[in-house]
Structure 1
Amino acid sequence: MSSPPTSAPTTGRTSLRGSARVVLRLHRKALWAAGGLLVLGIGIVVALRVWMASAKELCADGDITPCGGPAHQPSYARTSTETLLADGGTVLLLLAALVGVFVAGPLIARELESGTFRLAWAQSVSPARWLAARLAVPAALGVSGLAVLVVVYRWGLWALRGYPYSHRITWYGSGVFPGTGPALLGYVLLAVAVGALCAVLVRRTLLSMSLTALVLWTVAFGLEKRRYELWPTVFRTDQDALQSFSAGDWSIDAGMVTASGRRLYWQDCYDADLAQGYDGDLAQHIEACLRDRGAVSDFIEYHPASHYWPLQLVETGILLALAALAVFLAFRALRRLHG
């Protein structure tokens, strides 16, 4: 009798899972530290919400004085919460960068520098699968952990919604925007990819970590400065242009336009007046200066609050494209250097 057919062994999948388990075992202390940071972040936001809820606010706008009175005084808990959460997105961005620095240094470059990678490659683990495991583990854990922190951070900001005297918490703020949507997950995936690429190319722990931090800072800084260009702005030139702008909108620029449609900016006259030390009514003088140059009506260029998600998704797409490119180059460099 013929023996029953046996299924083909799934050595590729098994080796990848085995490599992932090795990564988790070798770096369990770092995982515990990451878990501690996750709990700490959640605890801070929860503590701020509880503190603000316990404040003796007499009005819905956070006033601790009688409603409708001549003075408005917010509670110390509310102003402190606003101050701390105003830079929460920056903190989450730094955590994403920290994942990339860890990938570049202890996870990959240190093994390449010390030569311990040869032990794994001698045990039926190809260089490509070895690198894939060191990309998959931090990517999965980083995305999962930071996704939780994004939800918690948004929940913390939700307590400040509708607060009319808030000037630090804006959806487009450089300290808020990166930590409130999917762009942060794009940043952590880019951090992992850039860390792997730098480690494979440099193969020196400290140098790889430094180069990764520099590349991530450059990308984050560039996107912050050019974020307003990722989606078309709203341009209004009618008589009620300035009145159409609401407190929740992101003002990009303002000024006046000529009959031919040429834009004249307030800075064109403001800088000259400032240099001359003008002491009169500066706003009226600037308007008169612009009209002397042919201006006929006001204009304002801005992003309304509805542009939040388009800006988030476009930025996320850019980050994912850069991450995919970095991963491709990392595997290509590994193949060229080690076969």
Structure 2
Amino acid sequence: MIWLTWRQFRTPAAVVYGAIAVILGALAATGPHLAHLYETRGDRFLDSVGGFEANLYVVTTLALLALPALIGMFWGAPLVTRELDAGTHRLAWTLTTRTRWLVAKLGLIGLAAVAAAGLLSLAVTWWADPIDKAIAARSGAPGPGFLIFPRMSLEIFGSRGTVPLGYAAFFFVLGVIVGVVVRRTLPAMAIVLGLFVVTQIAMYTQVRSHLLTPEHLTTTITARNLTSINMFNHLTVVVNRPGAWVLSQQTVNAAGHPVTVPSWVLECPGSGPKSQACFAKLTGLGYRQLVTYQPADRFWSLQLTETAIYLGLAFGLAVLCVWWIRRRLS
């Protein structure tokens, strides 16, 4: 059964692992140079990152963000539905049990999916470490070009560390169960893509920030740390916590209650003695900015916790898939 599964799967595996091999070669060729630049250029490191490295940074990040969705769509969704459409599952079930048939498929291809995501993630995490450190050190100041996202952000978090392994396992098994239930390959692929987008957004906005109790920081509002005032007089300030994931900001009064700043703050000049006096008056009235955030040093704790959640969900879906094949399919 394992041999037959491998025969059916070898072409998709060769395509994915071939692409990963090309990326790994580029990372291995440029990684030492990038680390040397980081050690020698200091604060000017980000300005020294060349066009090829910049493009490689973007490509590898996007590849890792997209890989779990592609695995779910092209490896998971057709895994069983292809056999159901062709009717070959009935022949396979005469040679072995349904459970062994499905477990062999889930085990072999699931391990290949996790290995692909893990290998690429490990390499990208190593290669991009100097860039991630330099971005974090800027404490919220924008970097040149694309280099503006810390590794705790939505754009980067899923392309580093261990979470790509969890994503790959979960979305692969999700693709399988969706295919089994829908029993049509193309609709199943479309559903998996939609679930991927919804799941990732929900994890970032509703779950990840609560995996660990966030910390709070109360800071004065000055011309130097103020970044914006919107039409509702809500302020945003730069947080002096390098690489932190800022969850929310709100202005509070001397009693600690959320408020909006007085309208005259809009007319405070950007610099000079008048600006200092204006913001000193704001501070004297008791206005402060309350920031809720996850510190940068919690990156690996969040990574491991989220990875465990996705692996647990993947196991639960695998059990559901086995039950469905045994009880609901004929």
TM-score by length of 2: 0.77
Q: Aligned to 1:122, what secondary structure does the other structure show?
A: helix
**2:329 equivalent to 1:338:** yes
Residue 28 in structure 1 maps to residue 16 in structure 2: no
- For 2:60 and 2:188, how far apart are their aligned partners in 1? 27
Contact 1:269 1:289 in 2 (8 A): no
Distance 1:62 1:46, change over 3 A: farther
Residue matched to 1:147:
118
> Match of 1:130?
101
Secondary structure in 2 matching 1:261: coil
Counterpart of 1:281 (choices 228, 244, 269) is 269
Question: For each residue in 1:189-216, what CA deviation from the matched residue of structure 2 results, as whole angstroms up to 9, or x when unmatched?
Answer: 1012101111111111111222122222
Match of 1:157 in 2: 128
Superposed counterparts of 1:83-122, under 5 Å: 84-86=56-58, 88-122=60-94
Which amino acid in 1 is paired with 2:93? W
Give the alignment's TM-score, normalised by structure 1.
Answer: 0.75
Residue number among 249, 252, 261 corresponding to 1:257 in the alignment: 252
Aligned residue identity for 1:299: L
Contact 1:88 1:176 (8 Å CA) reproduced: no
**Which deviates more from structure 2 when the two are superposed, residues 227-236 or residues 109-118?**
227-236
State the alpha-carbon separation in 2 of the partners of residues 273 and 131 from structure 1.
68
1:305 aligns with 2:305: no
CA distance in 2, matches of 1:153, 1:199: 31
* Structure 1 residues 159 and 58: alpha-carbon distance in aligned structure 2, compared to 1, 3 A threshold: closer
- Does the 8 Å CA contact 1:104/1:205 hold for their aligned counterparts? no
Aligned to 1:263, what secondary structure does the other structure show?
A: coil
The percentage of counterpart residues that share the same residue type is 24
Judged with a 3 Å threshold, the aligned counterparts in structure 2 of structure 1 residues 250 and 326 are, in CA distance, closer, same or farther, namely same
- Counterpart residue number, 1:237: 218
Q: Which residue of 2 aligns with 1:218?
A: 198
Counterpart of 2:154 in 1: which secondary structure? Answer: coil
Q: 1:286 to 1:129 in 2, by over 3 A?
A: farther
Aligned pair partner of 1:327 in 306, 312, 318? 318
How far the C-alpha of 1:63 sits from its partner, in A, is 4.2
Q: Is the 8 A contact 1:230 1:314 kept in 2?
A: yes
CA contact (8 A) 1:256 1:295 kept: no
Deviation of the 1:176 alpha carbon: 1.7
Contact 2:217–2:291 (CA<8 Å) still a contact in 1? yes
Partner residue of 1:248 out of 239, 243, 249: 243
| Aligned-pair CA distance for 1:247 | 2.4
Q: Which amino acid aligns with 2:244?
A: D
Q: 2:153 aligned with 1:173, yes or no?
A: yes
Q: Secondary structure at the match of 1:136?
A: helix
Q: Cα RMSD between the aligned structures?
A: 3.6
Query: Against the structure 1 CA distance between its residues 100 and 245, is the aligned structure 2 distance closer, same or farther, given a 3 Å change threshold?
Result: same
Larger Rg belongs to:
1
Q: Quick check: 2:113–2:168 contact (8 Å CA) kept in 1? A: yes
Deviation at 1:229, TM superposition (A): 3.0
**How far, CA to CA, are the matches of 2:83 and 2:39 in structure 1?**
60
CA distance in 2, matches of 1:300, 1:107: 47
**1:233-285 deviations in Å (ceiling 9; x for gaps):** 11123669x89823222222334333443234xxx459x899xxx55537979
Amino acid in structure 2 at the alignment position of 1:108: V
Q: Which runs of 5+ in 2 are unaligned?
A: 226-237
User: For the residues of structure 2 that align with 1:35 and 1:238, how far apart are their CA atoms?
Assistant: 49
Q: Which moved more, 1:92-101 or 1:153-162?
A: 153-162
2:31 is matched with 49
User: Could you tell me how far apart the structure 2 residues matched to 1:269 and 1:54 are?
Assistant: 47
Deviations, residues 34-68 of structure 1 (Å, cap 9, x unaligned): 2202202212323443665798x99522749xxxx
Q: What are the ranges of 5 or more consecutive residues in structure 1 without an aligned counterpart?
A: 1-18, 65-72
| Counterparts in 2 of 1:230 and 1:263: CA distance versus 1, 3 Å | farther
Structure 2 CA distance, aligned partners of 1:106 and 1:237? Answer: 52
